[in-house]
A and B are shown apart, each in its own frame.
Chain A
Amino acid sequence: MKGWHRYAIAVVGGLAVGLCGAWALTDGGLGDGAIRNGPWTTSLGYGTKATDPLTRAMVARSGLLALPAKETVYWMAKTDASGARLDGDCRYSLSGAPLDARWWSITVYDDSGYLVDNPARLWSVNGANVALDTKNEWRVTISPNKPKGAAWLPVIKGRAFQLTLRMYNPGDAFRAAPEKATLPRLVKEAC
Chain B
Amino acid sequence: MRNWFGPVLLGLIVAAATMWAAILYLPYGLMDIAMNRLGQGGINSMSHGNLATPERQPVVRPSPDLAYSSCPYDLSQGPLAIDVVPVPGRYSSLSLFDAATDVIFVRNDVEAAGKPYRIIVAREGQVVPAGAEIVRTDQDRGIALIRLLLREPAEIGALDAARRQSSCRTVINPK
Contacts and interface: CB of A to CB of B under 8 A. Distances in A.
B7 A9 contact: yes
A112 interface: yes
Contact of A10 (B7, B64, B100, B102): B7
B18 interface: yes
Contacts of A1: 3
A180 interface: no
B151 A114 contact: no
A124 interface: yes
A83 B134 CA distance: 48
Chain A interface secondary structure, helix, strand, loop or mixed?
mixed
Contacts of B8: 10
Contacts of B13: 14
Interface residues of A, number: 58
A132 B13 CA distance: 59
Contact of A56 (B20, B34, B102): B102
Nearest to B110: A169
B15 A115 contact: no
Nearest to B143: A65
A174 B104 CA distance: 24
Interface residues of B, number: 55
A51 B100 CA distance: 11
B53 A56 contact: no
A65 B91 contact: no
Given A65-B59, A65-B145, A68-B103, A15 B31 contact: no
A47 interface: yes
A62 B63 CA distance: 13
Interface string B94-137: 01010011111010101000000000000000000000000000
Nearest to A125: B65
Contact of B30 (A14, A25, A49, A60): A60
Contacts of B18: 14-15, 17-19, 22
